[in-house]
Amino acid sequence: MPSAIAIKQIEGKPGKVYYPLEKITIPEPKPKDNEAVITLTAAALNHRDLFIRQHLYPGTTFGVPLLADGVGLVTSSGPGAKQWLNKRVLLNPGTGWQDSPEGPEAPTGYAILGGTKSNPAGTLADHIVLDAEELEECPEHLSDEEAAALPLTGLTGWRALKVKCGDNATTGRNILVTGIGGGVALMVLLFAVAEGCNVYVTSGGQEKIDKAVKLGAKGGVSYKEKGWEKKLQGMLPKERKYLDAIVDGAGGDVVSKGARLLKAGGIISIYGMTISPKMDFLMSAVLRNIEVRGSTMGSRKEFSDMVQFVREKKLRPIVSRSVHGLDLKQIDTLFDDMKNASQFGKLVVTLGDKKGTAFGFDDGANALTASSQNCKVFPGDWNYPKISARSKFDALLGGALIKTTPIAAPCYKSSADLHTSHPTSMMWPLFQGRTCMPTTDPNATCTLSGYPTYSINASNVDQIRLGINFARNSNLRLAIKKTGHHYIGKSSGAGALNIWTHNLEDIKESRSQGVKEFHNDDYSGPAFKAGAGVQGFEILEAARGKNVTVLAGICETVGWAGGYLAGGGHSPVASIYDMAADQVLAYVAITADGRFVTASSTTNADLFWALRGGGVLTFGVITSVIVKAHPRIKVTKSVFSFQAAPNNTVSFWKAVNAYFKSFPTFTNAGTYSYFWIWNYGTVLDFQMALFFAPNHTIESFNNLTEPFFDELKALNISMTPNTTFYEDFYSANKGSWGADTMGRTNIRQATRLLPKSIWETPEKYTSFYETIRSTVMSGATVGGYHMAPSNPFNVDNAVNEAWRSTQSFLTTANLVPDDAAPAELKNASDHLAFDMMDSWRKVAPNSAGGRVYLKEADIQESDWQVDFYGAKHYPKLLGIEKKWDPKGVFYATTALGSESWELRNGEQGVQTQNGRLCRV
Structure confidence at residue 858 (pLDDT): 86
pLDDT greater than 50 at residue 235: yes
Structure confidence at residue 234 (pLDDT): 93
pLDDT greater than 70 at residue 430: no
Question: Looking at residues 515-537, what average pLDDT do you find?
Answer: 82
Q: In the chain, what are the domains?
A: 3-150+316-350 (3.90.180.10), 165-294 (3.40.50.720), 372-503+903-919 (3.30.43.10), 506-631 (3.30.465.10), 635-870 (3.40.462.20)
Question: Looking at residues 507-523, what average pLDDT do you find?
Answer: 60
Question: Looking at residues 183-212, what average pLDDT do you find?
Answer: 94
The angle subtended at Cα 883 by Cα 881 and Cα 887, nearest 5°, is 80
Question: Looking at residues 338-365, what average pLDDT do you find?
Answer: 75
Cα-Cα-Cα-Cα torsion 863, 869, 873, 879, nearest 10 degrees, comes to: -90
Contact by Cβ (8 Å): 445, 435: yes
Contact by Cβ (8 Å): 141, 314: yes
Q: Please report, for residues 213, 234, 368, 589, the alpha-carbon distance to residue 377 in angstroms, rounded to integers and kept in the order given.
A: 32, 47, 16, 25
Structure confidence at residue 373 (pLDDT): 64
CA 123, distance to chain mean position in Å, is: 30
Structure confidence at residue 434 (pLDDT): 43
Question: Looking at residues 821-833, what average pLDDT do you find?
Answer: 83
pLDDT greater than 60 at residue 721: yes
Helical segments of 373-443, H only: 387-396
Tell me which of 375-384, 707-716, 872-881 is least confident.
375-384
Structure confidence at residue 701 (pLDDT): 98
Q: Dihedral of CA 142/145/146/148: which sign?
A: positive
Which residue spans within 680-721 are E strands per DSSP? 684-694
More confident of the two residues 516 and 632: 632
CA 779, distance to chain mean position in Å, is: 38
Question: Looking at residues 689-694, what average pLDDT do you find?
Answer: 95
Structure confidence at residue 360 (pLDDT): 67
Question: Looking at residues 34-44, what average pLDDT do you find?
Answer: 93
In sequence order, what DSSP letters do the residues of 61-95 get, joined into one string? -SSS---SEEEEEEEEE-GGGGGGTT-EEEE-SEE
pLDDT greater than 90 at residue 668: yes
Query: Measured in Å, how far apart are the chain's first and last C-alpha atoms?
Result: 34
pLDDT greater than 50 at residue 353: yes
| pLDDT single digits (tens) 734-763 | 877 665 554 455 577 899 999 999 999 999
Residue type, 824: E
pLDDT greater than 80 at residue 428: no
pLDDT greater than 60 at residue 423: no
pLDDT greater than 50 at residue 439: no
pLDDT class for 357, splitting at 50, 70, 90?
low
Structure confidence at residue 811 (pLDDT): 95
| pLDDT single digits (tens) 560-582 | 887 889 899 999 999 999 999 99
pLDDT greater than 60 at residue 418: no
In sequence order, what DSSP letters do the residues of 447-471 get, joined into one string? --TTS-SEEEE-SSHHHHHHHHHHH
pLDDT greater than 90 at residue 73: no
Q: What percent of the chain has pLDDT over 90?
A: 54
Structure confidence at residue 641 (pLDDT): 97
pLDDT class for 661, splitting at 50, 70, 90?
very high
Q: What percent of the chain has pLDDT over 70?
A: 87
pLDDT greater than 60 at residue 368: no
Whole-number Å distance between alpha carbons of 142 and 659: 64
pLDDT greater than 70 at residue 290: yes
Contact by Cβ (8 Å): 99, 303: no
pLDDT class for 273, splitting at 50, 70, 90?
confident
Identify which of 110-119, 373-382, 444-453 has the greatest average pLDDT. Answer: 110-119
Tell me which of 324-333, 356-365, 705-714, 764-773 is least confident.
356-365
Whole-number Å distance between alpha carbons of 909 and 824: 7
pTM to 2 decimal places: 0.67
pLDDT greater than 50 at residue 420: no
pLDDT greater than 60 at residue 367: no
Length of the chain: 920
**Long-range Cβ contact pairs of 188-191 (< 8 A, separation 24 or more):** 188/157, 188/160, 188/161, 188/247, 189/215, 189/216, 189/217, 190/215, 190/216, 190/315, 190/316, 190/317, 190/318, 191/157, 191/158, 191/161, 191/162, 191/309, 191/315
Q: Name the β-bridge partners of 523.
A: none
pLDDT class for 276, splitting at 50, 70, 90?
low
Whole-number Å distance between alpha carbons of 251 and 421: 68
Tell me which of 169-183, 230-244, 621-635, 820-834 is least confident.
820-834
pLDDT greater than 50 at residue 416: no
Q: What DSSP character marks residue 27?
A: P
Question: Looking at residues 513-539, what average pLDDT do you find?
Answer: 80
Whole-number Å distance between alpha carbons of 552 and 535: 9
Mean pLDDT of the chain, nearest integer: 86
| pLDDT single digits (tens) 797-815 | 999 999 999 999 999 988 7
Q: How are strands ordered across the β-sheet holding 497-500? A: 401-403, 454-457, 497-500, 478-481
